[in-house]
Structure 1
Amino acid sequence: MILIGIDPHKSSHTAVAIDPAGHQTGQHRFAVNAGTFRRLMRWCEQWPERRFAIEGARGLGRTLAQQLAAAGENVVDVPSTLSARARLLATGGDRKTDAADALHVAQVALFRHDLRPVEPEDQTTILRLLTERHDDLVHERTRVLNRLHAILRDLLPGGAPTGLSADKAAAAMKTIRPVTATDACRRDIARDLLADLRRLDRQVKENEAEMRDALAATRTTLTTLPGLGTVLAAKVLGHVGDVSRFPTEHHFASYTGSAPLDASSGNNVRHRLNTGGNRALNSVLHIIAVCQIRDSGRGQEYYLRKIAEGKTPTEARRALKRRLSNVVYRIMKRDLRNQLAQAA
């Protein structure tokens, strides 16, 4: 089995082939254009039994990785942190070339058997794109709303009302009677900001409607979990993808950053907060935990039980997040089993 490591860039992809012993058997640099994939496959025909390893298959190497996966090739994603460590071990420094990087990518894939396989994009990719777009729209709406609030503060006695919305802002602006040219300029800017706010409100609603349709196509039951609505469920599916890549709920909790890290040394057994993992999923678990703590139910009961055991509110919330990670994992595994059973 020949392993082909690829170091992708915007203008070129460098490929290096190694044998099972790690010895280089071939090298080629491909210019990135419409014919890159075709030329790569023609070059690889000399090795019928082959496997590909691409650095950053979710970044610069996404297009090539998806083309290979769609063609039925065996492709794995090599994180740049691993290839950088391999380069440091090989050279003892930070000296690098594209060919050397591709070689180190292949070497990492040769010895690491837990790398994430690249799968063809599916409905979960659409969900991730929609949730990322939703986040961008919400952030932009917040920025516009804050700017509009600041402008109205200078135009209205006592400032703009709290909980400002497009309708409230429009009603308040009807009472504005500019006295100076400066106030007239502020009013014109406020009108532009109000138009931007209405446009963003409309785009957020359209985005959420698309998200609901895409979520329904997955036939997920995640939304049955209290505190987990359409947007959060779409974010979970979009970031997790194929849940079967996590062998246990403990691996899933480590990925979400909800599992504490073992920092024991000698006879001292202790754990510390995990600040790594997928922070988007960690944020989802945090929101679910806050909602369940607020409302009566099993989540609130678990939280209060931890408080009674002497934990601080922060520690009790983290414990609930760890428990919720297990629940989300089990729901996704159950949905996957049901879908496989229906397809059989």
Structure 2
Amino acid sequence: MRVDHGDLPEGAVFAGVDTHADEHWLCVLDAVGRVLLSERFPAAPEGYDALAAAVRRAGEPVAVGVEGTATYGAGLARRLSELGLPVWEVLQPERRGRPRGSRKSDPVDAERAARKALSGEGLSVPKSRDGWVESARALLAARDRLVSSATAAANAAIAIARSAPEEVAGPLRGMRADRAMPAALGMAEPDDPVAASALRAVRALAESWRASREAAARLLAEIEGLVRGGCPALLAMYGCGAVSAARLAVAAGDNPGRMASEAAFAALCGASPVEASSGRTVRHRLNRGGDRRANSALHQIARHRLDHDPRTRAYAARRRSEGLSDREVMRCLKRYIAREAYRALTGPRGAAPGFDPGGLGSARRAAGISQEAAGAALGVSRGLISLIELGRGGSPSMRERYRAWVEDGFPIPADQG
């Protein structure tokens, strides 16, 4: 995304932050690219406030580029947004993408982020991470880990049983994990000490399998509740279960309006077509980039529709008759489902998508109130008012304050009257 800075205010500054687990390094540039400040701050709430104050002392912040807004910089990005600073996500450069012989240090990385903020290129709106999607992300991560643990425990138990004496191997032979693990828990311990040891090992792994499965099921119920309450339109998509819906929502974030179009969401999910033409052959292939978990969700939905939906099967047969391979048919299906998911995410209740779902900006404009005046009345910056109206920023409490102010008829504080 390219950010147009437009007419810069007097004293405009651009900041970049290189984030780490224990400390963040800040670099601030003026409008012509001169370094005004380069300093480290602790990665803690008091450090976030001190960093924001340092940026404001340097001048009027136009853009603050933060690396790792979904990892080490999540807390900082959230706090800076609450304080009304214009926060943008800066992609961390890959090691192989660095110019040969270039320097690598925290101050250098912070300055690189600041120069990206100054150029306005290669920036994106960070996920707000302050709503139901963030809750679903944490639960989904734990559920995925529990499912992996259950699979690993079952595989290990079956491997041990396969090489165990016949007293243990026989009753479990040919069984799948969902039958073998309960069967192992109910087996009586044999007299042979080697077989008994093998059975105890299998039982321990089977107990781990059962505990992980039960915990994963509880988390899945919570995830489904969050999706059903936050974006029921996703679950209304044919073939989209709670896990697939949560993965698509996590890819978009709590502020799906940050994506400029459904094509941008498709690219984010790795479902955008990539041209692979050569000579007289004109074709496209699957995109192997993007969020692979979201791409997996699209794939699962497409597979379900191919197995159970007559219209999808008819479409696939028609495209194959036109010369498309199975992979190319899948690419087309995933692209269509990504478009459907984008509409669901931007219209979570089934309503038409829009960037001002609460009508806050429309109500303010109808009342003849500028964003500057709204910001002054609420004690925040004009930029934060703009982000709230676009659905791209502001904490839940700040958005509720703004909504209450609009519903109360735009009261002006006494000290401003």
Provide TM-score, normalisation by structure 1: 0.88
Structure 2 residue 238 is the aligned partner of structure 1 residue 226: yes
* Corresponding residue number in structure 2 for 1:292: 305
Structure 1 residues 46-103: Cα deviation after superposition (integer angstroms, max 9, x where no partner): 2452131111111222221122122222111101128996x73xxx623223222111
| 2:89 equivalent in structure 1 | 77
**Correspondence for 1:58:** 70
Matched, 1:235 2:247: yes
Partners in 2 of 1:94 and 1:114 — Cα distance?
A: 19
**Cα distance per residue 1:83-137 (max 9 Å; x no partner):** 996x73xxx6232232221111111122235622233522111111111111111
Comparing 190-199 with 71-80, greater Cα deviation is found at 190-199
1:74–1:314 Cα change, 3 Å: same
Evaluate the alpha carbon distance shift between residue 230 and residue 57 of structure 1 in structure 2; reply closer, same or farther with a 3 A threshold: same
Deviations 1:225-250 (A, max 9, x none): 12101111111111211322222222
Alignment of 1:44-193 (within 5 A): 44-50=55-61, 51-81=63-93, 88=99, 93-113=101-121, 115-118=123-126, 119-153=128-162, 154=164, 155-157=168-170, 159-165=172-178, 169-171=181-183, 174-193=186-205
Cα pair 1:83 1:101 within 8 Å, conserved: no
In structure 2, relative to structure 1, the CA distance for the partners of 1:315 and 1:25 (3 Å cut) is: same
- Which letter does structure 2 place at the counterpart of 1:8? T
- Counterpart of 1:35, as a letter, is E
- Per-residue CA deviation, residues 249-271 of structure 1 (Å, 9 max, x unaligned), is 22222221112223568987554
Report the Cα distance in structure 2 between the residues aligned to 1:159 and 1:83, rounded to whole angstroms.
Answer: 49
Distance 1:194 1:97, change over 3 A: closer
Residues 308 and 213 of structure 1, relative CA distance in 2, 3 Å threshold: same
Contact (CA 8 Å) 1:302, 1:320: kept in 2 or not?
Answer: no
Which residues in structure 2 correspond to 1:33-44 (within 5 Å)?
A: 33-44=44-55
Q: Does 1:319 align with 2:332?
A: yes
**Aligned equivalents of 1:41, 1:175: Cα separation in 2:** 63
Alpha-carbon distance in structure 2 between the residues aligned to 1:249 and 1:304: 26
Which residue of 2 is the match for residue 8 of structure 1? Answer: 19
Does residue 36 of structure 2 align to residue 28 of structure 1? Answer: no
Structure 2 counterpart of 1:314, which letter? R
Q: Alpha-carbon deviations, 1:266-299, whole Å to 9, x = none?
A: 9875544321111111111111111111113332
Contact conserved, 1:222 with 1:233, CA < 8 A, in 2?
yes
Letter in 1 for 2:34: H
Structure 2 Cα separation of the partners of residues 246 and 104 of structure 1: 24
Note closer, same or farther for the CA distance 1:266–1:180 as it changes in structure 2 (3 Å cut): closer
Structure scoring higher RCO (CA < 8 A, sep ≥ 6) equals 2
Task: List runs of 5+ in structure 2 lacking aligned partners.
Answer: 1-11, 360-417
Distance 1:135 1:120, change over 3 A: closer
Given the alignment, which residue of 235, 249, 264 partners 1:251? 264
Q: Determine helix, strand or coil for the equivalent of 1:201.
A: helix
Determine helix, strand or coil for the equivalent of 1:53: strand
Amino acid aligned to 2:170: P
Cα contact 1:18–1:24 (8 A) shared by 2: yes
In 1, Cα distance between the equivalents of 2:315 and 2:153? 39
Distance 1:184 1:322, change over 3 A: same
Find the aligned partners of 1:172 and 1:264 in 2 and give their Cα distance: 55
8 Å Cα contact 2:251-2:269 kept in structure 1: no
Specify the code of the residue in structure 1 equivalent to 2:125: P
In structure 2, distance between residues paired with 1:55 and 1:190: 46
Q: Deviations over 1:141-186 (max 9, x none)?
A: 11111122223333132643423326x5334554545242111111
- Asked whether the 8 Å contact 1:258–1:325 carries over to 2, the reply is yes
Relative distance call for 1:25 and 1:269 in structure 2 (3 A) is farther
- The structure 2 residue matched to 1:328, chosen from 335, 341, 357, is 341
Q: Which residue of 1 aligns with 2:320?
A: 307
In 1, Cα distance between the equivalents of 2:96 and 2:118? 15
Superposition RMSD in Å: 2.7
